[in-house]
Amino acid sequence: MNQYSPSCSRCAMQNLCFVHGLHANDLNRLDQLLDHKLSFRKGDVLFNAGDTAQSVYAIRSGLIKLYSTQGEQELIHDFYLLGDLVGLEGLANRQHHYTAKVIEDVQVCAVSFDQLDFISQEIPELNTQLLRLMSQNIVKERQHARVLTHKTAEQKMAEFLIEMIEKLRSRGYDYLQFRLGILHRDVANFLNLTPETISRVLAKFNREGLLSWKKKEVKVMNLTKLYAYSQLTQPHLD
Amino acid sequence: MNQYSPSCSRCAMQNLCFVHGLHANDLNRLDQLLDHKLSFRKGDVLFNAGDTAQSVYAIRSGLIKLYSTQGEQELIHDFYLLGDLVGLEGLANRQHHYTAKVIEDVQVCAVSFDQLDFISQEIPELNTQLLRLMSQNIVKERQHARVLTHKTAEQKMAEFLIEMIEKLRSRGYDYLQFRLGILHRDVANFLNLTPETISRVLAKFNREGLLSWKKKEVKVMNLTKLYAYSQLTQPHLD
DNA sequence: CGTCTCCTTGACGTTCATCAAGTATTGTGG
DNA sequence: CCACAATACTTGATGAACGTCAAGGAGACG
């Protein structure tokens, strides 16, 4: 599951990243686009706001936060992990609007915009795929706006955790116990709360036998109750 | 300025809508895409969340709000007016995620996705343009998230008004006195405030000789002070 | 000209931020 | 690998911004 293969057509993550939906023939063409796999360490920056954008990054492992700054104010827009695509919004203008910083060591596939542009003219399906990803991004941002504005601290926290859980589940990982190396400060920032509030909510979740998150290790004790807090509907387990 | 011309190549709004940046030749091709001009009345719905998406709409006049609903909760994501493009995020999946409702009678150009798809394969520049618009949309949503989370009621209000003012200014309209037919309720929703708070902030702005908004008519008395409230930087006036 | 919706203004309440101080954990250099 | 410094987390006390509730007034529409 975690094995790396250098070509898209044999890539273990094929279903997760943006090539999903392309035909075998097209995948072979896409292979040529891939720079080699790159590694970054915690604290490294994939790109800064204002940088010229040269490629998009498909995350193979690790964790990245995407944020913008205004004055002193840092605002985290999203976290990316295995199977996610970072930096796509820089494509059209060849300029990044955000900073992508590694918070847990990552391996990424870098895909050059130039080549992507070029080949997407020959593979219409890829173009549609890019537009689809952009659309999904917009929908996601708007959903996040709803969370930020209309949910209580407890709902925000529950929803955030469930998003992580569902991502892990969809990728076949253990989702009842896993490492989550994000600072409370960063979660707080993302959800527009304070670290203190995060701490209090987690203490409550723990007290009520819902879930614990200590020393970067999450243990889910009562998933159903967690869903109840989040107001999301719990999917049927297979 | 407000005159309607049925072909893109002679369209008075050429610089405002998504064809901006295309060459004359390409514009002629684009002409074929245009359905005739459509009119909608206040209260009409261009499309509903969940509808199959068939075209994108370029606003020629009037005002539209785009929103989603969850349970009873309506959430307004954006307002669109002259020169704006509505419904683009439905392109990839051919499905609308939001409802677009007319709040002041509109005239729109409807551009079919099918044809857009087809011709964008022949005009690479159009494709880039679509991606650019999507990117800008994402950036805009994230900026809005910042406003929702990190600004006071007064800053939100000032920023909202300035956005309207700058839009009118960029389109060559009177921006110190203009009609703004949006309900306080809708502004409140958009900014995550209550109508009461909107009312109080406007009363304050009025008291301080900044601006008045009564009977759907906005009069700007002190633009500089308004910018000061918003924390935005005032552009140099020509 | 009456009804309905929208807007205004005031009194009060709630959620979460802020401030503060102490404890745990992580990172670092010897 | 330990010591200690820096950073992160926890918990409590207090407060502020804006929401909620309420009631009256003004527009808009038929």
Q: Would you state the pLDDT for residue A7?
A: 67
User: Is residue A93 predicted with pLDDT exceeding 50?
Assistant: yes
Q: Which contacts qualify for B147-150: CB closer than 8 Å, 24 or more apart?
A: B147/B191, B148/A145, B148/A148, B148/A149, B148/B191, B148/B192, B149/A75, B149/A148, B149/A192, B150/A73, B150/A75, B150/A192
Residue of B nearest to A188 (CA): B149
Q: Would you state the pLDDT for residue A128?
A: 85
Among partner residues A77, A129, A138, which is closest to B89 by beta-carbon distance?
A138
Q: Angle at CA A98, nearest 5°, toward A96 and A100? A: 100
Bigger pLDDT: A6 or B146?
Answer: B146
Highest mean pLDDT among A10-14, A108-112, A203-207: A203-207
Among partner residues A70, A92, A98, which is closest to B131 by beta-carbon distance?
A92
Judge whether B155 is closer than 8 Å to chain A, CB to CB: no
At which residue do the structure tokens 């159903």 appear?
Answer: A224
Do B138 and A134 count as a contact with CB atoms less than 8 A apart? yes
- Which nucleotide in the DNA or RNA is closest to residue A183, CA to C1'? D8
Do A131 and B135 count as a contact with CB atoms less than 8 A apart? no
Q: Would you state the pLDDT for residue B3?
A: 46
Sequence letter at residue B125: E
Q: Would you state the pLDDT for residue A2?
A: 40
Do B70 and A146 count as a contact with CB atoms less than 8 A apart? yes
Residue of B nearest to A69 (CA): B146
pLDDT tens for each residue of B63-81 = 999 999 998 899 999 999 9
Q: In chain A, where do the E strands start and end?
A: 34-40, 45-47, 55-70, 73-81, 85-86, 99-112, 177-179, 211-214, 217-220
Q: Would you state the pLDDT for residue A193?
A: 98
CA-to-CA separations, A17 to A127, A200, A237, B33, in angstroms, rounded: 14, 36, 24, 33
Task: For residue A57, give both structure tokens.
Answer: 């990054």
In chain B, residues with a C-beta closer than 8 Å to the C-beta of A192 are 149-150
Q: How confident is the model at residue A123 (pLDDT cuts 50, 70, 90)?
A: confident
* Poorest-pLDDT segment among A29-38, A202-211, B156-165, B227-236: A29-38
- Which nucleotide in the DNA or RNA is closest to residue A217, CA to C1'? C25
Which protein residues have a C-beta closer than 7 A to any atom of strand D?
A 183-185, 195-196, 198-200, 202-203, 214; B 152-154, 192-194, 196-197, 215-216
Q: Would you state the pLDDT for residue A4?
A: 46
DSSP-based three-state secondary structure for A20: coil
Q: Would you state the pLDDT for residue B122?
A: 77
Average pLDDT, chain A: 89
- Which nucleotide in the DNA or RNA is closest to residue A196, CA to C1'? D10
Residue of A nearest to B136 (CA): A89
Judge whether A115 is closer than 8 Å to chain B, CB to CB: no
Amino acid B225 CA to nucleotide C10 C1' distance, rounded Å: 28
User: Is residue A214 predicted with pLDDT exceeding 70?
Assistant: yes
User: Which DSSP letter does residue B7 get?
Assistant: S
Give the distance from residue B70's alpha carbon to the nearest chain A alpha carbon, in angstroms.
9
Q: Would you state the pLDDT for residue B15?
A: 58
Q: Would you state the pLDDT for residue A142?
A: 98
User: Which DSSP letter does residue B145 get?
Assistant: H
Counting as low any pLDDT under 50, the low residues of chain B are: 1-4
pLDDT tens for each residue of A156-189 = 999 999 999 999 998 889 999 999 999 999 999 9
Q: How far apart are CA A157 and CA A213, in angstroms?
A: 12
Do A121 and B121 count as a contact with CB atoms less than 8 A apart? yes
pLDDT tens for each residue of B105-121 = 999 988 888 878 877 77
Residue from B178, B235, B174, B162 nearest B1 by CA: B174
Q: How far apart are CA B88 and CA B97, in angstroms?
A: 10
